[in-house]
Amino acid sequence: MQKWIIAAAAAVIVAAPVIVSPSIASAQAPIVLKFSHVVAPNTPKGKGAEKFKELGEKYTAGKVKIEVYHNSSLYKDKEELEALQLGAVQMLAPSNSKFGPIGIKEFEVFDLPYILPNKDALRKVTDGAIGKRLLTLLEPKGMVGLAYWDNGFKQMTANKPLNMPADYKGMKFRIQSSKVLEAQFRSLGAIPQVMAFSEVYQALQTGVVDGQENTPSNMYTQKMHEVQKFTTLTNHGYIGYVVVVNKKFWDGLPADVRGQLEKAMNEATVYSNTISETENSEALEDIKKSGKTQIITPTAEQNAAMRKAMEPVYADVGARVGKKLIEDVLKETTGGTH
């Protein structure tokens, strides 16, 4: 009898870890990954973030809960990068133009006027050696760069027609926090003003600024076209994103979970970069249909004049962004000229 009790107790002890561990695992709270961003859900970035949530939660079988915060509902532009570095949020996708304030100026190369003639040229840069090298600059700042996501090409808006460089003189333009964009508007004789994305609509509405540059999907989803009488299809620059994750969080994940999230990110990247062009052309159609802003298609001469006026920007920001980096990107995108 005693023997039986001892044997039974031993069996419980031996069996205990096997019995207990699954129940602990199922009771264990999932790892929470907060993904914060500043644009609307129905944009290339908003949809990409939702796709990552769907796939990430599926591939990790619920071990990771991904919370997506759209429309600056958690943090605005400037705060979100600080929050990521502090670990208050785990993932972001800021535009290339927003890394300067935390000391990474090189991503501003993508802000140079007319540096990317099309998406194929862009892809050569982001998917090649330059793109990889740029991502390594993020690690000393406590973040890991996981992917490049597209938005699209920028258009200019104001309450007056913007055809030639002279039309920009003395006008106040909202810009993202990029010195290249600052130099771009100065080259046109305009006054650039850095402002968080979430504040642009109101600033346009109240006349704090006269104009802005953005992609059709960003303009349409923030209703900017309702408070700007003219939109000129300049396609002079590009907005794209670097998806970044807090390095400590990422390195601390179990290897299998990190692998599953990497797979989810790769697939979400393909998805987001596939829909970006359609999202923007549909948004432009919707803007046109609204009848609230007049669309101007510049002539070849007007385009050439804009290009010429902005050319000094390359020399102005060479030292900041890196002359060699600019040359390397130009080699990939335009065969060396701009």
Tokens of 186: 């100065």
CB of 70 to ligand LMR, least distance (A): 11
With respect to ligand LMR, which residue has the nearer C-beta, 238 or 271? 238
CA separation for the pair 172, 286 (Å, rounded): 26
Facing residues of 34 across strands?
Answer: 67
With respect to ligand LMR, which residue has the nearer C-beta, 60 or 126? 126
Report the Cα 93 to chain-centroid distance in Å.
4
DSSP string, 27-62: HSPPEEEEEE-SS-TTSHHHHHHHHHHHHHHHHTTT
* H or E element in which residue 294 lies: strand 294-296
CB of 194 to ligand LMR, least distance (A): 10
CA separation for the pair 7, 97 (Å, rounded): 68
CB of 200 to ligand LMR, least distance (A): 7
CB of 218 to ligand LMR, least distance (A): 5
Q: Is there a contact between 104 and 138 (Cβ–Cβ < 8 Å)?
A: yes
CA separation for the pair 337, 117 (Å, rounded): 11
Q: Is there a contact between 228 and 171 (Cβ–Cβ < 8 Å)?
A: no
CB of 205 to ligand LMR, least distance (A): 16
**Residue 238 in 3-state DSSP?**
strand
With respect to ligand LMR, which residue has the nearer C-beta, 195 or 330? 195
CB of 54 to ligand LMR, least distance (A): 21
CB of 66 to ligand LMR, least distance (A): 19
Tokens of 196: 């968080």
The β-bridge relationship of strands 238-246 and 143-153 is antiparallel
* Burial of residue 185 (number of CB atoms within 10 Å: 0-12, 13-18, 19+): buried
With respect to ligand LMR, which residue has the nearer C-beta, 165 or 216? 216
Q: Which residues bind ligand LMR (CB under 6 A)?
A: 38-39, 95, 151, 176, 197, 214, 218, 239
